[in-house]
Amino acid sequence: MINIIFLGPPGSGKGTQALDLANFLSVPTISTGEALRKEVEAESDVGLMAKNYMSSGKLVPDEVVVNIIKNRISNSDCNNGFIVDGFPRNLSQAIVFDKMMEKLGRKVNAAINFTANDETLIKRISGRFSCKNCGAVYNSYFKPTKKAEVCDNCESNQFQSRNDDNEVTVRERLKFYQESAEDLIGYYEKKNLIYSVDALKSVPFIFEELKKIVQELQK
């Protein structure tokens, strides 16, 4: 069983790599951002509450995301491990998460820290779009569709962008990330769980690095 968390600023490629690595390990990916976007779309109580935080780039209150994670990691599909993308986001979430894991008789095996500079992150985020039908993620600068305006995956021609993917909100998201990153990374450093990856490298290069880390952990 292997339980991995992905840390790193917005646009550093956590979601992209989480899907590939989860496939490789045959474990689920848990993304608090994705779960919250579903709640917003469904206009649930959680979604209505989270919407303003998300569209202004702020963190959603801890109790909301902690609840999402708590419900999700106790599902049977997580029995062989999981990859969490976007949680914990601050020290208090990390501490609560450890307690939650301890109760389940589990622990975090690695905290992968994606590093990149702000200007690249802003460019990546402003170029991001996804297929409305199947959710495949593209990037107008770095990963365009093979055929103009046709999804490589399902051939739909309907695309969408996240409403927090504009430069003003991204700068806010980066600011909030910086506020808690040092404490969060320090917490996992003390536990010897931090593995850093250079998020400026290509998607396949980073994936190979992640596979090496995982293979080391599995020895």
Catalytic residue set: 14, 89, 128, 162, 173
Binding segment toward ligand AP5, per CB under 6 A, in 3-11, 21-29, 71-79, 97-105: 3-11
What is the C-alpha to C-alpha distance for residues 91 and 97, in angstroms, rounded to an integer? 10
Q: Which single residue brings its beta carbon nearest to ligand AP5?
A: 33
* CA 50 to chain CA mean position, Å: 17
- Of 80-99, which residues contact ligand AP5 (CB under 6 A)? 86-87, 89, 93
* DSSP code per residue over 105-116: T----EEEEEE-
Structure tokens at 153: 């995956």
What is the C-alpha to C-alpha distance for residues 193 and 158, in angstroms, rounded to an integer? 41
Give the residue among 87, 82, 66, 83 at the shortest CA–CA distance from 8.
Answer: 87
Strands 110-115 and 194-198: parallel
Max CA separation in the chain (angstroms): 50
SS3 30: strand
- DSSP annotation of 159: E
When the beta carbons of 54 and 214 are compared against ligand AP5, the nearer one is: 54
* CA 30 to chain CA mean position, Å: 8
Provide the 10 A C-beta neighbour count for residue 110.
21
Whether the CB-CB separation of 84 and 109 falls below 8 Å is answered with no
Report, in Å, the least distance between residue 48 CB and ligand AP5: 14
When the beta carbons of 82 and 87 are compared against ligand AP5, the nearer one is: 87
Report, in Å, the least distance between residue 89 CB and ligand AP5: 4
**What mask of x and - would describe binding to ligand AP5 in positions 154 to 173, judged by CB under 6 A?**
----------x--------x
Please pick, from the candidates 126, 133, 142, 152, the single residue that binds ligand AP5 as defined by CB under 6 A: 142
Does 14 bind ligand AP5 (CB under 6 A)? Our answer is: yes
**What mask of x and - would describe binding to ligand AP5 in positions 26 to 45, judged by CB under 6 A?**
------xx--x---------
Does 3 bind ligand AP5 (CB under 6 A)? Our answer is: no
Report, in Å, the least distance between residue 136 CB and ligand AP5: 10
Binding site for ligand AP5 (CB under 6 A): 8, 10-16, 32-33, 36, 53-54, 57-60, 65, 86-87, 89, 93, 124-125, 128, 137, 139, 142-143, 164, 173, 202-203, 206
